[in-house]
Every structure is written in structure tokens, then in C-alpha cells.
Structure 1
Amino acid sequence: MTRADIVIVGGGMAGASLGAELAGDARVILLEMEESAGYHATGRSVAFWEETYGGPAVQPLTTASGPLLAAPDPDFHEGSFLSPRRTLHVGRAGDEGARDALLAQFAGKVELSPLDPHALVPGLRPDWTLGVLEPSCRDIDVAALHQAYLRRFRRRGGEVRLGARLTGAAREGDGWRIEAAGEAIRCGLLVNAAGAWADEVARLCGVAPIGIAPLRRTVVQLHVPAMPQDDLPLVMDLRSRFYFKPEGRQRLWLTPHDEAPSVPCDAAPEDLAVAQAVARFEEAVDWGPASVEHKWAGLRSFAPDRAPVYGHDPGEPAFFWFAGQGGFGIQTAPAAAFIGAALIGGAALPPAVAEIDPAPYSPARFR
């Protein structure tokens, strides 16, 4: 029987980042059910770091992660994971309430400037009269960040097991006996970083689920020959009906900002969502015609209050939640991993996240 101090279920950004912080001080095994880590949510991200994205509960995690992503330790990654982008939040008559709420929620926390949106987006249709610039927004090299965490994890002695779905778990002594890929593993702590499968993992372990719900998000890649430039900002509708950003010359990524309930699965785009995305894009700009080159979908998993869940389960202290990270798990990965590792190790929070109170993210809020 294999023995480990900690087994992490899930090899996406959540599991890889937390594992990288834990390995070295403990023997850690990372279980990934797919044949490649990061196949689901991590591999389908639209790849930006935006401080207002996810709302006020998420903003401290995103803001704290920014410097760690912009200037990582050289032994972790050479160069920055971030590159310039900016966000332009846009709206029409009737959206003043959404604009004012955005400005009020992040006053004194995130730089936001009302302005005429047409100055930044040539071809924006005349009825889009409201604009708020968020200059701090950056693109993220998601693949590089994920691979850097996996490298650090392995370098510190962590073991990654691919194609290793958790199939059984039972309390044994002061820890767990689990089954994965036909092998028994004994560990002291089980970490649930399973994304859309987080509640399923909890049930398998005899732990009460939290109500983490997978929601499908559709993305299309458009070929737009008339797109005026490829360094435009990320454009987000103030009413959350769409956002898009350039992705190379004459191409952009676009989503209708859908959140369709789903079972945990290998998500696929639906034609209606693709059509909605294109229609909303055409309502916003006069860059037509545009053609769909590629389309995909991913599952963003939210707890009932839409804040992430980090901490030991109150009813089962040997079970640690690291889930419910919605669509913001990548942009908050460094801060979240620091917090998770400190909670597991019973240590003080490191300086980069010392001002963040972990209590609002505790699973105890659902018990």
C-alpha cells in the first residue's frame, strides 16, 4: 500500500498550485482522473487577470495574486505570467445603476475611471454611451502558470498520478484509505480540489456536500477581418451579457456570459449559446461580418454564495475543501495556494496574503 501525508484530488490549477506549496514539507500525491492535468476548467480559460471579476469577495485574492503573477520568483518562472490588456466595461441607457454599483463596490480598492467608451473601441455602436476603464487588467499565460506549478510540485517531491480517478474512500485510524486506479493509498489528509466534481468527491468520502454547482460557460473564437486593432481592451457588458477580447490578428474570444446548470462532465458548447454570443457581439460593434472559427465550453463551479471554499470541513477535519473557485481560480491561484497551505499547516499567513481574512472562505459557513 502506498502511503502519503496528503492526497489532493484534482490536477487543475487549484490542485497544482496548492500541491506546489505543500510539497517539500509533506509527502503529497496529486490524483488527476484525466490523462492530462488541467483538461477541464483550467484548459478552457479565457485567460485574464481582472481585479473586479468575481466581485468584492474575490477581489482581495486577485489583487494579492497580481504581484506574484507579474514578477514570480526566478526559480519558479522566468519572466511575467501577465501581459498588458485593460478592461472597458460598457453599457447603454438604463445601465447607470450597474455602472454606479461597480464604481461603489470597488472604490478605494481598484482603479476605475468613467469615460466615453468610443475613445477606446472604434466601431462601438452609438447607443453604447457608458464606459468604465479598469486599466489594471492583464492577460494571463494560463498554460505556463499551470506547468510552472506542476514543475515546482514535482521538484519538491510531489507525485502526479494521471488517469487516477478516486473510486473509494474510507476513514481508517486518524486518516484515510482511498482507492484510485486500482491501488490503495493511505493518507492523513484528503484535499478536495476537484472543481465541478467537488460535491461528488465529498459524497464519496462520506462528507456532506456544500452545494457547489457546475455552470457551463460558452466561448467562441471569431474571425473578424474588420476588427480595427488587436490591442483593444477586454470589453465587458455592464449587465453581464457578453465579453470579448482580441486574441491575435483579426481574431477574438467571445462569450455570452452564460451560466447554464450542468452535471459534472466534459462540457460542450450548445448552438443556442453560440448564436447568442454572436448576436450580442453584433449589437455592440459594427465590425461585421464575423465568422465562428472555433467554439468550446467549460464548467465554472460556484458555492451557493459564489465565494471560494478553503478550509477543513467542520464535521470531518481530515477533509480539506479547496473548491468553488468559479471562473476566477486562475487569477487568484497564488493567493489561494498560500492561504490553503497555511490553513493545512497551521501556520501564519505569508506576507503576500497577510491582510486577507480566510474566515469568509471557510466551509463552516455552510454548516
Structure 2
Amino acid sequence: MNRFDIVIVGGGIAGASLGAELAGKASVLILEREDSAGYHATGRSVAFWEETYGGRMVQPLTTASGPLLRSPAPDFSPRSFLSPRRTLHIGRAGDEAARDRLMEEFSDHVELRPVDPAALLPGLRPQWILGLLEPAVCDIDVAALHQAYLRRFRARGGELRVGLSLESAGRGPAGWRIQTSEGAIDCGILVNAAGAWADDVAQRSGVAPIGITPMRRTVVQLRVPAMPSADLPLVMDLSARFYFKAAGEGRLWLTPHDEEPSPPCDAAPEELAVAEAIARFQEAVDWPVEAVERKWAGLRSFAPDRAPVLGFDAHTPAFFWFAGQGGFGIQTAPAAALLGASLLTGEAADDAVAGIEATAYSPRRFG
């Protein structure tokens, strides 16, 4: 079959979650250019569910996703995708304004509790005197979530084709004709869920790009035998220079919180970013680093205002944007998929997202 109601370009968490909500209501195909879905940003995420992460534009989607991740429907997953973590935001003298902004921005929606950071983080260096605890934060089982969405997608009749890239697309009287590396595919609605390649897919489809920029984020896995325990909170610098979290006994994942503009690509870590990450970590705690065991990088893709882009293009009929999820696409996936499906089909929004103002995420905001 080479005619579908909807074709989704991109099989990461964005495309898989939206496809799972649309399949069964229409014939849906997901096109994935790699040999396996979720190879890029989804497969490299250090994912957690944190309501303050991404700012107030993102928070409604994160908050609405929490119950769906914590207590999924039995036919979707037999267990929760979340496990308790907590976040400890730490700062030094001079970071008071950042702490106060965080509290002011989120105090009406998120529990944030001033604490003595040294009491929660043994080995913290004495200059780190500011602490805010965000107790509701959880880790996300990314692989399980992504696979659950792909299973639901297939169970509802959706089709996934991997190793197949969109080369061009154009509109005709009957809808879209997509030229791929293996021939033509026709559809009524074309969905751009291509992550770092979102603007490229738009241009290949004759649609004006909206300025979605891929940003490289570096992560290293350190062996730290002196780390006090494996259930430490996620530790985030109030000045956004690093964060780290335990990844098992004596191991942690660390990032220098870098956001370097990058062309869409198979991202690789740069040695300078790895060195900066370790230096910033050692400024914060006195735990010796025994080894760098792994290092990797992924691309986080942001619209100009850093909010997700969900909705039909302002100028091209039947071209639907589902992109710009930045570094928060996994923690917002359940709500974003429900909201996106509602916008695409015109059906009433699911109760879980009925209170979210969808126009805030419309591509029409870019004129």
C-alpha cells in the first residue's frame, strides 16, 4: 500500500507517540530514515520528568503528561514509566536571582522547597550555599516508553517503514505525493516530526522553514566510587552550567548543559565539552573521578521561542508541524501527542489536555 491518510516523517518519540494516537482513526505510515526508530535524540536522552524544565511554556504539557507516565493504561504498559528521583537545584553567591526567578515562575504550579544543599549532597563544596528541592521529579524509562508507543501504533494498524527517507514532497489535487528513496507515496496529510531535520523536511516539501535549530548536548558517564549513593537527587546548577544524576552504584551521567548550534547530523561529543563537564563537576563536589566510561551527544531542536511547534502550517494546507520539542520531548510526549491528534483530526481534546491552550504552540505564531 502506497496511499495513506497520514504520513508522519520521523519515528522518534514525537512521531511514535502521535502515530499511536492517530492509528485506528486513519491509515497512518511513519517514515524513518534510519534503520531503527529513535536512533537520534530519543535514543540518547538522559530523560527525566521535571515540571520546571523547559520553562512555563512547556510546563503545562509536562504536568499533564505526569499522570499518563506514572499510571499508564494497562493495555499500554503493565508498569509505570517513572521512578522517583527528585531534583536539587544548587547555586553559589550571586545565583540568588536565578533561584528567585525559578520560585516566582513556578511556585503556583510546582513544589519548590528551600533546603541546605549540603544536607542532601555529601561532598558538596562549601561555596555552594543555595539549594531548592523539587521533590516530584522522576526518571523516565525512555526505551520502554518509545517501544510502548510503537507497539500501540502497530496494534492499531499503523505501518512503520525504516531506512526510508523523504527526498521531496509536493501537493496535487489528491493531496501530497512524497518521493522517497524507494519510490512514491501518496497521502492526505503530511506530518513533520523529523526533529533536527524538521526545517529540512519542510524545505523539501516546499514549505517555508520556521527556524528550528538543532543544538548539540554532550553527556559523559563517569565512574565515581566515592559517590555516596545511587539514589541521589538529580543535581542542577541554578546558573545552567551542568547537571548530573546517578546512573547506578558508583556511576553518574553528567552534562555541561551545552547547547551548540549544529547542522542535523549523527551528533558526536567534542572533547572540549567533555573536559568542561568534568571541570564543572569537580567545582561542585569533591568526589574523585576514576574514569570516563562513555561519552555521547544528541541534538535538541528548538524553535526561535523555545516552545514546541504543534499544528497546521500557516500557509501550506495539510502540512502539520510536530517539532521543536527541545530537550523536553520525552517528558511531554503523552500530552503533546493527545493535543496534536486533536488538532490534526479536529476532534475534541482528551480530558488530560483539555485545559491546555493549544494556540500557544501553533506554527502560526511565527507569522
TM-score by length of 1: 0.99
Q: For residue 235 of structure 2, what is the aligned residue in structure 1?
A: 235
Structure 1 residue 205 corresponds to structure 2 residue 205: yes
Distance in 2, Cα, partners of 1:143 & 1:21: 18
Q: Which runs of 4+ in 1 moved over 3 A?
A: none
Conserved? CA contact 2:123–2:287, under 8 Å: yes
Q: For residue 188 of structure 2, what is the aligned residue in structure 1?
A: 188
Matches within 5 A, 1:325-336: 325-336=325-336
Structure 1 residue 225 corresponds to structure 2 residue 225: yes
Structure 1 residue 154 corresponds to structure 2 residue 154: yes
Q: For residue 317 of structure 2, what is the aligned residue in structure 1?
A: 317
Distance in 1, Cα, partners of 2:285 & 2:317: 52
> Which one-letter code corresponds to 1:301 in the other structure?
S
Q: For residue 66 of structure 1, what is the aligned residue in structure 2?
A: 66
Q: For residue 337 of structure 1, what is the aligned residue in structure 2?
A: 337
Conserved? CA contact 2:222–2:289, under 8 Å: no
State the 1:181 CA deviation: 2.7
Q: For residue 2 of structure 2, what is the aligned residue in structure 1?
A: 2
State the 1:68 CA deviation: 0.1
State the 1:348 CA deviation: 1.5
Distance in 2, Cα, partners of 1:195 & 1:346: 24
Q: Deviations over 1:158-199 (max 9, x none)?
A: 000000110121111141000123221110000000000000
Q: Tell me, what secondary structure is at the counterpart of 2:170? A: strand
Distance in 2, Cα, partners of 1:2 & 1:257: 43
Distance in 1, Cα, partners of 2:314 & 2:213: 20
Q: For residue 113 of structure 2, what is the aligned residue in structure 1?
A: 113
Q: Deviations over 1:100-125 (max 9, x none)?
A: 00000001100000111011100000
Distance in 1, Cα, partners of 2:276 & 2:248: 23
Q: Tell me, what secondary structure is at the counterpart of 1:316? A: coil
Q: For residue 85 of structure 2, what is the aligned residue in structure 1?
A: 85
Q: For residue 95 of structure 1, what is the aligned residue in structure 2?
A: 95
Conserved? CA contact 2:6–2:188, under 8 Å: yes
> Which one-letter code corresponds to 1:251 in the other structure?
R
Worse overlay, 345-354 or 143-152: 345-354
Distance in 2, Cα, partners of 1:316 & 1:290: 54
Q: Tell me, what secondary structure is at the counterpart of 2:299? A: strand
Conserved? CA contact 2:4–2:27, under 8 Å: yes
Matches within 5 A, 1:249-328: 249-328=249-328
> Which one-letter code corresponds to 2:318 in the other structure?
A
Q: Deviations over 1:271-322 (max 9, x none)?
A: 0000000000000000113321000000000000000000000101210000
Q: Deviations over 1:139-167 (max 9, x none)?
A: 00000000000000000000000001101
> Which one-letter code corresponds to 2:97 in the other structure?
G
| Matched length | 367
Conserved? CA contact 2:169–2:178, under 8 Å: yes
> Which one-letter code corresponds to 1:238 in the other structure?
L
Distance in 2, Cα, partners of 1:332 & 1:74: 20
Q: Which runs of 5+ in 1 are unaligned?
A: none
CA RMSD of aligned residues (A): 0.7
Q: Tell me, what secondary structure is at the counterpart of 1:34? A: coil
Q: Deviations over 1:344-365 (max 9, x none)?
A: 1101111001110000100000
> Which one-letter code corresponds to 2:228 in the other structure?
P
Conserved? CA contact 2:88–2:234, under 8 Å: yes
TM-score by length of 2: 0.99
Conserved? CA contact 2:193–2:321, under 8 Å: yes
Instruction: Percent identity, please.
Output: 72
Distance in 1, Cα, partners of 2:289 & 2:298: 26
> Which one-letter code corresponds to 2:279 in the other structure?
A
Distance in 1, Cα, partners of 2:175 & 2:192: 14
Q: Which runs of 5+ in 2 are unaligned?
A: none
Q: Tell me, what secondary structure is at the counterpart of 1:37? A: coil
Q: For residue 354 of structure 2, what is the aligned residue in structure 1?
A: 354
Q: Tell me, what secondary structure is at the counterpart of 1:325? A: coil
Distance in 2, Cα, partners of 1:334 & 1:167: 29
Distance in 1, Cα, partners of 2:245 & 2:356: 30
Distance in 1, Cα, partners of 2:71 & 2:154: 22
Q: Tell me, what secondary structure is at the counterpart of 1:5? A: strand
